Amino acid sequence: MDLSCGENLPNSGNRSGSSGRTADMCVAGPDRALDRDPRLLLNLLTLERAHALHTDYFQTVQIDIQPFMRKVVTTWMLEVCEEQQCEEQVFPLAVSYMDRFLSHRAISRQQLQLLAVTALLLASKFRQCHPLCVDLLCAYTDNSVYPNEVRQWEVMLLQRLNWQLSIATAFDFVDPFLARLPWGRDNALVRTHALTLTSVCYTGE
């Protein structure tokens, strides 16, 4: 049994990105034995089904929000995550949190970006050593959202999610799928393209 650590210590830790914030860089490498274990996909599918949305909330819950509005705000969320060099799971988690909330509670279109900011905050707290700053997120909205509002909605969002923040996203399936392909691990560009395509799917209407 190989118990050696493949972590690259000289390059781990944190560094400052172009935006000046501290970017999380200590990320574990792929585990080939785990990725190729058939139980991994079965467990991911089970976890995914537990939090999957089974109805179109635009038809059943939301009155004021339209699909194109979701596309606009999720594209904005992706741009924030890319500019702030967030850990790759922050964006899909934030979108999942937002969708789960929208499937249970109707909100106005003026509250949609507030919800998006709150979801980004929660996802970054859950996945990163250094979460996104509330004031920074509000600045990305041209200060149309206020920090006190985000803090209030953070508690409400957590309650609506029943504090269940650990969920499977489409990003979790990329590495197990690539591990099953003979060329999946040979080219890092393939993984990058796969994650990019998945991100675009998250912003779809």
pLDDT digits (tens, 9 = 90+) for 63-97: 888 999 999 999 999 999 999 999 888 999 999 99
- Answer yes or no: are the C-beta atoms of 97 and 122 closer than 8 Å: yes
Neighbours of 136 (CB within 10 A): 13
Place of tokens 């209407």: 205
The CATH homologous superfamily for domain 56-202 is Cyclin-like (1.10.472.10)
- Answer yes or no: are the C-beta atoms of 179 and 36 closer than 8 Å: yes
What distance in Å separates the CA atoms of residue 162 and residue 181, rounded to the nearest whole number?
37
Q: From the centroid of its chain, how far is CA 72? A: 16
Confidence of residue 13 (pLDDT cuts 50, 70, 90): very low
Comparing CA positions, the residue from 103, 82, 100, 99 lying closest to residue 91 is: 82
- Report pLDDT for 81: 92
Each residue of 149-182: pLDDT tens digit? 999 999 999 998 888 888 888 888 787 777 777 7
Confidence of residue 113 (pLDDT cuts 50, 70, 90): very high
- Answer yes or no: are the C-beta atoms of 30 and 175 closer than 8 Å: yes
- Report pLDDT for 12: 41
What distance in Å separates the CA atoms of residue 205 and residue 197, rounded to the nearest whole number?
15
- Report pLDDT for 93: 93
Whole-model pTM: value is: 0.78
pLDDT (average), residues 88-107: 91
- The two three-digit tokens of residue 146, written as one number: 């206020």
- The two three-digit tokens of residue 169, written as one number: 């996203």
Query: What are the residue ranges spanned by the domains of the chain?
Result: 56-202
Contacts of 181 (CB under 8 A, 6+ apart): none
Average pLDDT, the chain: 81
Confidence of residue 188 (pLDDT cuts 50, 70, 90): confident
- Answer yes or no: are the C-beta atoms of 202 and 98 closer than 8 Å: no
